[in-house]
Structures are given as structure tokens and as C-alpha cells.
Amino acid sequence: MRRRTFLKWSVRAGLITAVSMAGWGCSRESKDGSQAIRMPPLPYGFDALEPYISEETLRFHYEKHQRGYVDKTNRLLRDTSMQKQPLVNILLDSYQAKSCEQNAVFNNAAQVYNHTFYWNSMKPSGGGKPVGLMAERINQSFGGYDTFRETFTKAAIERFASGWTWLVLKEGALAAVNTANAVTPIVQNMRPLLVIDVWEHAYYLDYHNRRDVYVEAFLDHLINWEFAAANMGEA
């Protein structure tokens, strides 16, 4: 039942639609009629987020890390029952699986999803306070933007080791949550709105060990509130 509910409001909120429009999280027909996870295009140029994220970091992160996850996912899915499923279904079916093979599918497929969500959570000349409905929901859930910023920053800085810090819709309210490694909120019955990648490879070339400065740059100059609002939909 929880899975059916998730898929219903995902489509309504634009998560699946947004995936398709951006070229991510979807599948393509291969020559033999099977489906494979596609490498998503970036929504901007490699130098578009400078000086906050350098072209070197973005190229390495996108062309090496995410490309590796896409390729590994396709290898793992080959000749399996999940090969023709949409990416979200693959995540839901493989999460907390009992076999090592299924766990590997989840870890790699989820990283395809998470990284693509991250690219779309940023935009050139982004950042700052949200407006409109997002501002209203931030005020309702956190008591104001300043409290949201403090809560989100604390979560991102204190996330131990590798993972992600998300703004999600959880039980009708917005919340800042961390997930470890490849875990994504969609398998925890939460609706993701935006995310920052806090794996070291996301920021180390530009900020070294100063994760706090990277998080500050994300909030002040990069965050894409329009993407978050689109994912929130009518909720």
C-alpha cells in the first residue's frame, strides 16, 4: 500500500514528470528492445555554477562518478526482471533486499537518482530566500527562513561520513533529513524536494575539508527553489 501511494503522489507532484523532462530517471529503448538507465544531461553548462562549484569539480563529479553509477546499474540490470522497470520502481523493489546482487542494484541506481536530483536542486544565480508557496511552507514548518537555514546547515555539516541532506515533505510538513550513502527519501515514504550532496567528492576540490563553506555557498548562491516548489506540487 505504501508503495502504491508513493507512486500516485509522485506523478501528481511532478517527480516522475520532472525526471522525464530533465532527461533523468527515465529509460531508453536499446537496439534489442530492452530498457536501460540513461545518463542524464546536466541542466546547465559545466562552468555555470562557478565560482561556487568549479568546472573541474562538476566535470569530475558528473562524468566520472555519476557515469560510473549509470554504467554499473545497467550491467547489474542486464537480463534481470528489473531491466525494463522505471528507475523509481527499481529503487523501491531493491531497497533492503536480501541478496547482495539486489543491494548492489539499489546502491548504484539510487546514486543515479540522487545525483540527478542534486544537479536539479541547483541553478546559476540561485540561492537566497524562497518566495511564494515555498516561503509560506518554510515559515509554517520551521518558523522562518533563518531557522530553516540553521537546521539545514546543521544537518549537512553534522552528517557523518558520506551521504545527503534533503529538504523533504514528511507527514504533511517540511523537514531537513539526512540519508547515508545511497539511501534516498523515496524509499522511506518521504517526498524529496531538494538535496545537497555531502560526499567529499562533491566539494573537496573546491573547499577541501570546509564542508560548512560549501553548504553556505549552496544555500546562498545555488539552491533552486523553483525545483523544490515543483516537486512539492499541490501538497
Peptide bond into 51 cis (omega under 30): yes
The whole domain housing 190 covers: 132-232
Number of domains in the chain: 2
Question: Looking at per-residue confidence, does 10 or 229 come out higher?
Answer: 229
87 shares its domain with 180:
no
In a domain, residue 127? The reply is no
91 shares its domain with 19:
yes
At 3 the pLDDT is 38
SS3 content of the chain, % helix, strand, coil (to 5): 55, 15, 30
Query: Residue 144, Cβ neighbours under 10 Å: how many?
Result: 14
63 shares its domain with 140:
no
Per cent of the chain over pLDDT 70 is 84
Q: What global pTM score does this model have?
A: 0.87
Q: CATH number of the domain at 10, please.
A: 1.10.287.990
Rounded mean pLDDT, 149-156: 98
The whole-angstrom separation of Cα 201 and Cα 14 is 29
105, 82 contact by CB (below 8 A): yes
At 234 the pLDDT is 60
63 shares its domain with 137:
no
In eight-state DSSP terms, residue 41 is: P
